[in-house]
Amino acid sequence: MFRRKLTALDYHDPNGFDCSDETQFRNCIVWLEDQKIRHYKIEDRGNLRNIPSSDWPKAYEKYLLDLNCPFGVQEKKEALDWLLGLAVRYEYGDNVEKYKNCQPLDTSGNSDKAVDPLVNLDNNSPDFKAGVTALANILKIQRHDDYLVMLKAIRILIQERLSPEAIAKASQNREGVPVALDKHILGFDTGDATLNEAAQILRLLHIEELRELQTKINEAIVAVQAIIADPKTDHRLGKVGR
Protein backbone atom coordinates (compact mmCIF):
# COMPACT_ATOMS: atom_id res chain seq x y z
CA MET A 1 0.00 0.00 0.00
CA PHE A 2 3.04 2.30 0.35
CA ARG A 3 4.55 1.49 -3.04
CA ARG A 4 3.89 4.86 -4.73
CA LYS A 5 5.37 6.96 -1.95
CA LEU A 6 8.35 4.64 -1.51
CA THR A 7 8.95 4.77 -5.26
CA ALA A 8 8.77 8.57 -5.24
CA LEU A 9 11.36 8.60 -2.46
CA ASP A 10 13.68 6.21 -4.37
CA TYR A 11 13.43 3.47 -1.76
CA HIS A 12 15.57 0.50 -2.74
CA ASP A 13 12.71 -2.08 -2.82
CA PRO A 14 9.28 -0.39 -2.96
CA ASN A 15 7.55 -3.41 -4.51
CA GLY A 16 8.87 -5.92 -1.99
CA PHE A 17 8.35 -3.86 1.15
CA ASP A 18 6.20 -5.63 3.75
CA CYS A 19 4.98 -3.45 6.62
CA SER A 20 4.05 -6.50 8.70
CA ASP A 21 7.68 -7.65 8.68
CA GLU A 22 9.12 -6.01 11.81
CA THR A 23 12.70 -5.95 10.50
CA GLN A 24 11.69 -4.37 7.20
CA PHE A 25 9.49 -1.90 9.04
CA ARG A 26 12.27 -0.78 11.40
CA ASN A 27 14.79 -0.54 8.56
CA CYS A 28 12.37 1.64 6.62
CA ILE A 29 11.87 4.00 9.58
CA VAL A 30 15.64 4.36 10.02
CA TRP A 31 16.10 4.92 6.27
CA LEU A 32 13.44 7.66 6.27
CA GLU A 33 15.13 9.47 9.16
CA ASP A 34 18.65 9.07 7.76
CA GLN A 35 17.90 9.94 4.15
CA LYS A 36 14.77 12.10 4.01
CA ILE A 37 13.39 13.49 7.27
CA ARG A 38 16.65 14.12 9.17
CA HIS A 39 14.90 15.42 12.29
CA TYR A 40 17.66 14.24 14.64
CA LYS A 41 21.32 15.12 14.49
CA ILE A 42 23.44 12.18 13.31
CA GLU A 43 24.82 11.58 16.79
CA ASP A 44 21.29 11.45 18.24
CA ARG A 45 20.04 8.66 15.96
CA GLY A 46 21.77 5.83 17.82
CA ASN A 47 18.71 4.44 19.63
CA LEU A 48 16.62 4.54 16.48
CA ARG A 49 19.37 2.85 14.45
CA ASN A 50 19.74 0.05 17.00
CA ILE A 51 17.15 -2.09 15.21
CA PRO A 52 17.72 -5.41 17.07
CA SER A 53 17.36 -3.74 20.49
CA SER A 54 14.35 -4.57 22.66
CA ASP A 55 14.17 -0.86 23.48
CA TRP A 56 13.63 0.11 19.84
CA PRO A 57 9.83 0.52 20.26
CA LYS A 58 10.47 3.13 22.97
CA ALA A 59 12.90 4.98 20.70
CA TYR A 60 10.34 4.85 17.88
CA GLU A 61 7.57 6.12 20.17
CA LYS A 62 9.77 9.05 21.22
CA TYR A 63 10.57 9.70 17.56
CA LEU A 64 6.87 9.98 16.70
CA LEU A 65 6.29 12.32 19.64
CA ASP A 66 9.24 14.52 18.63
CA LEU A 67 7.78 14.81 15.12
CA ASN A 68 4.30 15.62 16.53
CA CYS A 69 2.90 12.65 14.63
CA PRO A 70 -0.88 12.31 15.24
CA PHE A 71 -0.55 8.50 15.37
CA GLY A 72 0.96 6.23 17.99
CA VAL A 73 3.09 3.09 17.77
CA GLN A 74 -0.01 0.89 17.81
CA GLU A 75 -1.30 2.54 14.62
CA LYS A 76 1.50 1.08 12.58
CA LYS A 77 0.28 1.62 9.02
CA GLU A 78 -1.18 5.05 9.67
CA ALA A 79 2.02 6.27 11.34
CA LEU A 80 4.20 4.96 8.52
CA ASP A 81 1.94 6.53 5.91
CA TRP A 82 2.21 9.86 7.78
CA LEU A 83 6.00 9.59 7.91
CA LEU A 84 6.14 8.82 4.19
CA GLY A 85 3.98 11.87 3.48
CA LEU A 86 6.29 14.01 5.61
CA ALA A 87 9.32 12.64 3.76
CA VAL A 88 7.72 13.40 0.38
CA ARG A 89 7.04 16.96 1.53
CA TYR A 90 10.64 17.42 2.63
CA GLU A 91 11.89 15.85 -0.60
CA TYR A 92 9.91 18.39 -2.60
CA GLY A 93 11.09 21.23 -0.36
CA ASP A 94 14.71 20.25 -0.96
CA ASN A 95 14.25 20.03 -4.74
CA VAL A 96 11.69 22.68 -5.63
CA GLU A 97 13.35 23.62 -8.91
CA LYS A 98 13.49 19.97 -9.95
CA TYR A 99 9.79 19.28 -9.41
CA LYS A 100 7.99 22.57 -9.99
CA ASN A 101 7.94 22.20 -13.78
CA CYS A 102 6.85 18.55 -13.80
CA GLN A 103 3.78 17.92 -15.92
CA PRO A 104 1.11 15.43 -14.78
CA LEU A 105 0.76 12.30 -16.86
CA ASP A 106 -2.19 12.29 -19.27
CA THR A 107 -3.66 8.85 -18.69
CA SER A 108 -6.99 9.52 -20.34
CA GLY A 109 -5.63 10.52 -23.75
CA ASN A 110 -7.80 13.64 -23.67
CA SER A 111 -6.39 16.49 -21.62
CA ASP A 112 -9.48 18.66 -22.26
CA LYS A 113 -11.83 16.20 -20.60
CA ALA A 114 -12.34 16.64 -16.89
CA VAL A 115 -11.70 13.47 -14.90
CA ASP A 116 -13.55 12.72 -11.69
CA PRO A 117 -10.90 11.53 -9.18
CA LEU A 118 -13.50 9.37 -7.43
CA VAL A 119 -14.45 7.33 -10.50
CA ASN A 120 -11.69 4.77 -10.04
CA LEU A 121 -11.66 4.95 -6.24
CA ASP A 122 -11.37 1.54 -4.59
CA ASN A 123 -12.93 1.89 -1.15
CA ASN A 124 -11.58 -1.53 -0.14
CA SER A 125 -7.94 -0.71 -0.81
CA PRO A 126 -5.57 -0.36 2.17
CA ASP A 127 -4.45 3.06 0.84
CA PHE A 128 -8.02 4.37 0.93
CA LYS A 129 -8.70 2.99 4.40
CA ALA A 130 -5.43 4.33 5.82
CA GLY A 131 -6.05 7.76 4.30
CA VAL A 132 -9.62 8.02 5.60
CA THR A 133 -8.53 6.82 9.05
CA ALA A 134 -5.71 9.37 9.12
CA LEU A 135 -8.10 12.21 8.23
CA ALA A 136 -10.66 11.01 10.80
CA ASN A 137 -8.00 10.99 13.53
CA ILE A 138 -6.75 14.45 12.62
CA LEU A 139 -10.29 15.88 12.56
CA LYS A 140 -11.32 13.96 15.73
CA ILE A 141 -14.13 12.12 13.94
CA GLN A 142 -15.54 8.92 15.45
CA ARG A 143 -14.43 5.79 13.61
CA HIS A 144 -16.99 3.70 11.74
CA ASP A 145 -16.87 0.22 10.23
CA ASP A 146 -17.90 1.66 6.85
CA TYR A 147 -15.09 3.85 5.49
CA LEU A 148 -17.45 5.55 3.04
CA VAL A 149 -19.57 6.73 5.97
CA MET A 150 -16.43 8.14 7.60
CA LEU A 151 -15.54 9.87 4.32
CA LYS A 152 -19.02 11.44 4.21
CA ALA A 153 -18.59 12.67 7.79
CA ILE A 154 -15.20 14.17 6.87
CA ARG A 155 -16.73 15.93 3.86
CA ILE A 156 -19.56 17.37 5.96
CA LEU A 157 -17.15 18.62 8.62
CA ILE A 158 -14.85 20.25 6.07
CA GLN A 159 -17.76 21.91 4.26
CA GLU A 160 -19.42 23.20 7.44
CA ARG A 161 -16.40 24.06 9.60
CA LEU A 162 -13.32 24.45 7.39
CA SER A 163 -14.66 26.16 4.27
CA PRO A 164 -13.52 29.77 3.70
CA GLU A 165 -17.07 30.96 4.42
CA ALA A 166 -17.30 29.04 7.70
CA ILE A 167 -13.89 30.27 8.86
CA ALA A 168 -14.79 33.86 7.97
CA LYS A 169 -18.10 33.54 9.84
CA ALA A 170 -16.42 32.06 12.91
CA SER A 171 -13.83 34.85 13.00
CA GLN A 172 -16.49 37.57 13.04
CA ASN A 173 -17.13 39.22 16.37
CA ARG A 174 -20.65 38.64 17.62
CA GLU A 175 -22.29 41.82 18.84
CA GLY A 176 -24.78 41.51 21.65
CA VAL A 177 -28.31 42.87 21.61
CA PRO A 178 -29.29 45.33 24.38
CA VAL A 179 -31.74 43.77 26.83
CA ALA A 180 -33.99 45.62 29.27
CA LEU A 181 -33.71 43.63 32.51
CA ASP A 182 -36.81 45.22 33.99
CA LYS A 183 -38.94 43.50 31.33
CA HIS A 184 -37.80 40.02 32.45
CA ILE A 185 -39.29 38.53 35.59
CA LEU A 186 -36.76 36.76 37.78
CA GLY A 187 -39.27 34.64 39.67
CA PHE A 188 -37.66 35.10 43.07
CA ASP A 189 -36.19 37.89 45.16
CA THR A 190 -32.76 37.77 46.77
CA GLY A 191 -33.42 40.87 48.83
CA ASP A 192 -30.66 42.76 47.05
CA ALA A 193 -31.22 44.76 43.84
CA THR A 194 -27.69 44.13 42.57
CA LEU A 195 -27.98 40.39 43.16
CA ASN A 196 -31.36 40.38 41.43
CA GLU A 197 -29.84 41.96 38.30
CA ALA A 198 -26.93 39.50 38.35
CA ALA A 199 -29.40 36.60 38.66
CA GLN A 200 -31.43 37.94 35.72
CA ILE A 201 -28.27 38.17 33.57
CA LEU A 202 -27.24 34.62 34.49
CA ARG A 203 -30.73 33.34 33.65
CA LEU A 204 -30.68 35.04 30.24
CA LEU A 205 -27.21 33.64 29.48
CA HIS A 206 -28.40 30.18 30.50
CA ILE A 207 -31.42 30.45 28.19
CA GLU A 208 -29.12 31.48 25.32
CA GLU A 209 -26.87 28.46 25.96
CA LEU A 210 -29.92 26.17 25.98
CA ARG A 211 -31.00 27.59 22.61
CA GLU A 212 -27.56 26.96 21.15
CA LEU A 213 -27.58 23.43 22.57
CA GLN A 214 -31.00 22.75 21.04
CA THR A 215 -29.75 23.99 17.67
CA LYS A 216 -26.75 21.67 17.82
CA ILE A 217 -28.99 18.76 18.81
CA ASN A 218 -31.24 19.45 15.83
CA GLU A 219 -28.21 19.59 13.53
CA ALA A 220 -26.96 16.27 14.93
CA ILE A 221 -30.35 14.64 14.37
CA VAL A 222 -30.44 15.86 10.78
CA ALA A 223 -26.88 14.61 10.18
CA VAL A 224 -27.67 11.16 11.61
CA GLN A 225 -30.85 10.93 9.55
CA ALA A 226 -28.89 11.81 6.42
CA ILE A 227 -26.64 8.82 7.08
CA ILE A 228 -29.15 6.17 8.16
CA ALA A 229 -32.03 7.22 5.91
CA ASP A 230 -30.34 5.91 2.77
CA PRO A 231 -32.49 2.92 1.75
CA LYS A 232 -31.33 0.43 -0.83
CA THR A 233 -33.84 -0.06 -3.64
CA ASP A 234 -34.33 -3.55 -5.09
CA HIS A 235 -36.34 -3.09 -8.30
CA ARG A 236 -36.77 -6.84 -8.66
CA LEU A 237 -38.80 -6.98 -5.46
CA GLY A 238 -40.67 -3.79 -6.27
CA LYS A 239 -39.98 -2.27 -2.88
CA VAL A 240 -37.60 0.02 -1.07
CA GLY A 241 -35.54 -1.27 1.83
CA ARG A 242 -32.83 -3.74 2.66
Residue 156 to residue 59: CA distance in whole angstroms? 38
Q: CB–CB of 97/69 below 8 Å?
A: no
Count the domains in the chain.
Answer: 3
Q: Which residues contact 133 (CB under 8 A, 6 or more apart)?
A: 75, 78, 143, 147, 150
| pLDDT tens readout for residues 74-110 | 888 889 999 998 888 888 776 656 666 666 655 454 5
Residue 25: φ, ψ to 5°: -60, -50
pTM value surpassing 0.75: no
Q: Give 111's pLDDT tier (boundaries 50, 70, 90).
A: very low
Within a domain: residue 241? no
| pLDDT tens readout for residues 160-209 | 887 777 777 766 656 666 777 777 777 777 888 888 888 888 888 888 88
| pLDDT tens readout for residues 3-55 | 888 888 888 888 888 888 999 999 999 999 998 898 999 999 999 999 999 99
Beta bridge partners of 225: none
**In this structure, are 221 and 145 located in the same domain?**
no
Within a domain: residue 111? no
**In this structure, are 197 and 153 located in the same domain?**
no
- Residue 200 is part of which domain span? 178-230
**In this structure, are 132 and 196 located in the same domain?**
no
Within a domain: residue 188? yes
**In this structure, are 10 and 87 located in the same domain?**
yes
